[in-house]
Amino acid sequence: MRLHTMTVLSLSALAVLALEGCSIGSTSSTDPASAATAPSENASVPAPLSSAELAKRLLDEGDLGEGYARTPQRPAAHDDVSVIGCPALEKLGADAATGAGLGFSRKAKVSFAYVGGSDSAVSEELYSDSAAKLSKGIGQIFDAMVSCPTYQVASGSTVIDMGTQKTAAPDLGDERWSQLLTYSVGGQRSVVKQTAVRIGNVLVIVSGSPGLVGASLEKALAKAQAAS
């Protein structure tokens, strides 16, 4: 079973890939230390970066080292997906659970896999909006997920067993989240890490093999802050 990575905002994509015999996923929980730097709704609001500008700031093959290749982006999935055993996620509704209801229109993403390896993958997603909107939108979903240590995601006849474990996030940026997601489907069990960091009006999410996330995060943050 080949590993793929994704952001927590794409539960529908997770279920669809499971139907194809692939397992993916990761999620994050808010670091308590981030509360002191949460943005004010009344703070000065810089203009969001465009999606084109965000795309220029994504990681590339040179940042990851020899042996990593970019993987094609999968089309957005629109299949019906249901969450079982997590009232907080169910309450948010399908749009919020899949990211469609967040309203982060400025975004860019990229995924990489190690050539010849099935469990060495990493993906990055960048979003830009007001600091307050990023914090509120992403925090709402992450808080819902961390409230449910175990739950299931169902799409058609496929049911994915999921578990979350909060992990310490590095002291970077203005707010940060980090968690391990354990998922089991088709008799296979995998663990993926995701760390998200907000820097001003940019949100950086790095997901994938735990070691790769740790090795790639600071490079991703540095590029996300690069001058135009």
Mean pLDDT of 140-162: 84
Confidence (pLDDT) at 95: 52
Which of the two residues, 18 and 207, has the higher pLDDT score? 207
Confidence (pLDDT) at 117: 64
Whether residue 222 is predicted with pLDDT greater than 80 in this model: the reply is: yes
| pTM of the entire predicted model | 0.80
CB 181 within 8 A of CB 163: yes
Domains and CATH numbers, the chain: 11-224 (3.40.1000.70)
Instruction: Choose the weakest-confidence range: 16-20, 51-55, 201-205, 214-218.
Output: 16-20
Instruction: Choose the weakest-confidence range: 24-38, 55-69, 133-147, 150-164.
Output: 24-38
Whether residue 29 is predicted with pLDDT greater than 50 in this model: the reply is: no
Whether residue 13 is predicted with pLDDT greater than 50 in this model: the reply is: no
CB 216 within 8 A of CB 195: no
Confidence (pLDDT) at 134: 92
d(CA 87, CA 70): 36
What pLDDT, in 10s, does the model give residues 73-116? 765 554 577 888 988 888 876 555 544 555 687 999 999 988 87
